[in-house]
Structure 1
Amino acid sequence: MNKVLLIIQREYITRVRKKAFIVMIFVVPLLILGMSAVVGYVAKSNQELSTEQVVNVIDESKVFAGKFHSGKNIKYESGNQNLAEAKKELNKNEDLSILLIPAGYAKKDVVQILSKKKPSFKLTNEVEKQMNAIASAESMVAHHIDTAFLNALNKNKISISAMEVTETGVKDANVGTNMGIGIACAIFIYMALFIYGAQVMRGVIEEKTSRIIEVVISSVKPFQLMLGKIIGVGLVGLTQFGAWIILSIISTKIAGQAFAGPGGAMTGMLGVLATIPFGYILGCFLFYFLTGYLLYSALFAAVGSAVDSETETQQFMFPITLPLLFTYILSVSVLFQAPDSPLAVWLSIIPFTAPVAMMVRIPFGGVAPWQLALSMGLMVIGFLFTTYVAARIYRVGVLMYGKKASFKELAKWFFYKE
């Protein structure tokens, strides 16, 4: 046990003393804060088209002419109704587009926007929206429907507030916030398992290729070496994530006071976050980070022991990481929309997919206690099993040189007797 502790200490201290580790602790929260500000600014500034677009409307149907409403950066004109001459003007001006509306405009894909450069999605979407509104109004007038009355009715839009009934009363469900936290947790878990698992694999490859491993193995058992390396790198990851969480909270509060003021949007966002069971989510995050890391890093260590260079790892990496990649894609596209669906429940229970899938479900608060207990129990069993399998491969592979391993070869290594 003392030897394992020495290996853990060596792996941990060696990595946390590196300048890159110290710099990244402070840089990442600042980058996240800066990126959030830039994304918010860009999203706000791109609500309108960046340059003024002129749309020459050639309306052969005589339904839409003169009914388009020009906006801040989009101007509708009907000056040139000759298509050939309009195309000549088009070649001279990149910000000019031609909206060609044939008589049978209701048919699919017959209305066209012609432009020298590819029309933006915002432009085509805006034109399409106005045309649908104009066509609907014309149809209602043709059927003697009072459009003014309908427009007045449409102004009374219904807004629904999602509320949650708890033992202490009714409170805001914060669906949007829960969705954001769930996706963020899934992304962080996914990134962490890859980043720190790959560090274990690279460490094993470096020691193997430099032949340092031959000296170390003479003093400790292969399993002790692998276990110490995995735990040491895992503690580095916990230290880094803990520092990022603390610094991110501090920087967010400072930014909220500096830019938003006591009643600003940032303060309001912090108030919403205060209603989230942060301790519960953080505890689950740490558990699934640790168990998921132990499960995958053991397999990464086995892969590192089976190859002589990082370029040879691809044939083994894809089958190992496929369940994690599959769950990540589903998490950011499907699972957050239905966190209690059978697919989400099963993915959150299976050990190879649970770290990502469960962290999507937990912020929504719909995880039954038995599901969480079963998932956690299987995660513990899962990383113990993968550690056992990886250790048997590691003990042989770490001393193999110059031989390209295959899955068949790994199976042989697993069944070798001590």
Structure 2
Amino acid sequence: MNKTFIIIQREFMNRASKKSFILLTILMPFIFAATVLLPVMLAMVKSDEAKEVVVVDQTGKYLSQFQDNESYHFVPGSEMKEEYRTDTSGVSAVVMITDDLIKDPSAAVIYSRKEIPNSLSRIVNEALNTQIRHDKLIHYNIPQLQDIMKDFDQTYSIRTVKWSEDGSVQESNSGLATASGMILTILIYIFVLSYGGMVMQSVMEEKTNRIVELMVSSVKPFQLMIGKIIGIGLVGIVQLCIWGIMLTAILAVAGSMLGIAALQSPDTAQMMAMEAPTSDAASLVAALHNLNLAKMGTLFVLNFVGGYLIYASIFAAIGASINEQEDSQQFIMPITLLMIFALYAAIASGDNPDGPLAQWCSMIPFTSPIVMMVRVPFDAPMWEILLSLVILYGTALGMIWIAGKIYRIGILMYGKKPSLKEMMKWITYK
């Protein structure tokens, strides 16, 4: 056992001391934070001057529907002028309406010297559709049509509240739960695949360089394999912990600087949501604080470790069985496809976390670490979570045992590339 600890320490220090690891560990939280905050910051930046859009409405009934905003200023035009085609006109686009759109839907066109932005197309379509609906309703001779249209155009979004175990109510948000589950799912997918690949790469390098022949003279092959798997896995866990701490601190500082209300206390957020039920921001803040982050974090670590042990043992067996990097493709492809299937199953399960696909895939040990994390924010039954973990870790132990059998034979074999049939025979050797 002491030799196993020495191997674990060697593998851990060999990777944790690399400049690339240190640099990636420090920079990645800033990249994650930038990915989250940059779209928000850019969305807050508005153009200093609204773009001018000329509306040439020859029917005279659509112009009133065009309302100015921070991005566009709509001005009426009598006719299409030649100067609109030049850069010196200062006109960004021209909306030309030549006839009643109910009679001729093709009678409206947007002209511009550049590609039409989606934001402008959306505004124009909304304005035209509003008038078209109004014109259609006029034919029914409905009294007080304007008041009816104002009421009709108002939208409603219902609040979602869930009961806690003690019967109290808590603000919830399905979109937030789905997003948090998907983030954890993608992290597990990336880390299991990347760190499992590191195990295979490490085994192949030592086998190619013939270093392993010296190592197995003083340590058992199984101890060598376990030491590699645990040592590299600890590197991943430490990196995840550092990223979590740094990312939380970065988002907290950035949030306070940008005035994001998500940093308020849970009680304050809950009061805001109850006192102002129409505030989407307040409800979102309350739902964020009502997520069981401790439970999600614990299950994330457990599923990450279990999934890593399964796939790392498979990668270790593959690395010990082959001699060239090119030979690994035929073995890696099925594993990669299996993990891609698990990721797609997790994405599909986001809309139905208690459906048959989500339930079955959260029990299959090769997909459960990825799929289960989507179900956790939606309060999956505890017995299903526990059963999934039992199957996961039971399979992990079995895969480690099988990988150990293959590893002890394959690590010292050179030249011929083994087939799957030969590798199955290695498992039965005593």
- TM interval, short-chain normalised: 0.7 to 0.9
The counterpart of 2:145, out of the listed 135, 144, 147, is 147
What is the CA–CA distance in structure 1 between the aligned matches of 2:110 and 2:408, rounded to whole Å?
66
Give the equivalent residue in structure 1 for 2:403.
390
Matched, 1:414 2:429: no
Equivalence for 2:389: 376
Q: CA deviation at 1:375?
A: 0.9
Find the aligned partners of 2:7 and 2:32 in 1 and give their Cα distance.
33
Q: 1:53 to 1:315 in 2, by over 3 A?
A: farther
TM-score, normalization by structure 2: 0.82
Which residue in 1 is equivalent to 2:302? Answer: 287
- Do the aligned residues in 1 keep the contact of 2:54 with 2:91 (CA within 8 Å)? no
Are the equivalent residues in 2 in contact too, given 1:393–1:410 (CA < 8 A)?
Answer: no
Contact 1:49 1:74 in 2 (8 A): no
Contact 2:57-2:78 at 8 Å conserved across structures = no
Q: Which amino acid aligns with 2:14?
A: T
Aligned residues: 405
CA distance in 2, matches of 1:307, 1:138: 73
Instruction: Quote the Cα distance in structure 1 between the aligned partners of 2:263 and 2:416.
Output: 60
* Residue of structure 1 in register with 2:264 after alignment: 268
Q: Tell me whether 1:129 sits opposite 2:139 in the alignment.
A: no
Query: 8 Å contact 1:392–1:413 — kept in the other structure?
Result: no
Q: CA deviation at 1:229?
A: 0.5
Gap runs ≥5 in structure 2: 270-285
Distance 1:13 1:164 in 2: 47
Partner of 2:341: 326
Matches within 5 A, 1:7-406: 7-45=7-45, 52-57=50-55, 64-65=62-63, 67-76=65-74, 79=77, 81=79, 89-90=84-85, 96-99=92-95, 101=97, 103=99, 105-106=101-102, 112-145=109-142, 146-154=144-152, 157-168=155-166, 169-257=168-256, 260=259, 265-268=261-264, 272=286, 273-332=288-347, 334-365=348-379, 367-404=380-417
Residues 376-405 of structure 1 show CA distances to partners (whole Å, capped at 9, x for unaligned) of: 121012222332333333333333445455
* Residue identity opposite 1:162 in structure 2: T
Partner deviation per Cα, 1:152-207 (whole Å, 9 max, x = no partner): 42476444221111232112124343223211111111111122112112111211
AA partner of residue 391 (structure 1): G
Inter-partner Cα distance in structure 1 for 2:106 and 2:305 = 53
The separation in 2 between residues aligned to 1:303 and 1:50, in whole angstroms, is: 59
Shift of 1:330: 4.0
CA contact (8 A) 2:57 2:77 kept: no
CA contact (8 A) 1:234 1:293 kept: yes
TM-score, normalization by structure 1: 0.84
> How far, CA to CA, are the matches of 1:108 and 1:306 in structure 2?
67
Aligned counterparts of 1:359 and 1:63: Cα–Cα separation in 2 = 54
Give, as a single letter, the amino acid of the residue that structure 2 aligns with 1:41. Answer: M
Listed one character per residue, the Cα deviations across residues 271-328 of structure 1 (whole Å, up to 9, x for unaligned) are 6444322221111111100000001111122232333444543332221022221222
Cα 1:58–1:381 change in 2 (3 A) is same
Please state whether the residue corresponding to 1:337 is helix, strand or coil: coil
Q: CA RMSD in A?
A: 3.1
Aligned amino acid, residue 132 of structure 1: N
Question: What's the CA shift for 1:233?
Answer: 0.7
Change (3 A) 1:286 1:91: same
Q: CA deviation at 1:138?
A: 1.8
Q: Percent identity?
A: 31
- Bigger mean CA deviation after superposition, 290-299 or 162-171: 162-171
Q: Which residue in the other structure is 2:3 paired with? A: 3
Change (3 A) 1:394 1:115: farther
Q: Relative to structure 1, is the Cα distance of residues 372 and 115 closer, same or farther in structure 2, using a 3 angstrom cutoff?
A: same
Residues 353 and 91 of structure 1: CA distance in aligned 2, closer, same or farther (over 3 Å)? farther
Unaligned runs of 5+ in 1: none
Change (3 A) 1:174 1:23: same
Distance 1:403 1:80, change over 3 A: farther
CA distance, structure 2, for counterparts of residue 392 and residue 80 of structure 1: 84
Query: Partners of 1:309 and 1:102 in 2: how far apart?
Result: 70
Question: What secondary structure sits across from 1:394 in the alignment?
Answer: helix
Measure, in 1, the Cα distance between the counterparts of 2:229 and 2:116.
Answer: 52
1:209 and 1:308 in contact (8 A); partners too: yes
CA gap of 1:160–1:215, structure 2 versus 1, over 3 A, is same
Amino acid at match of 1:165: W
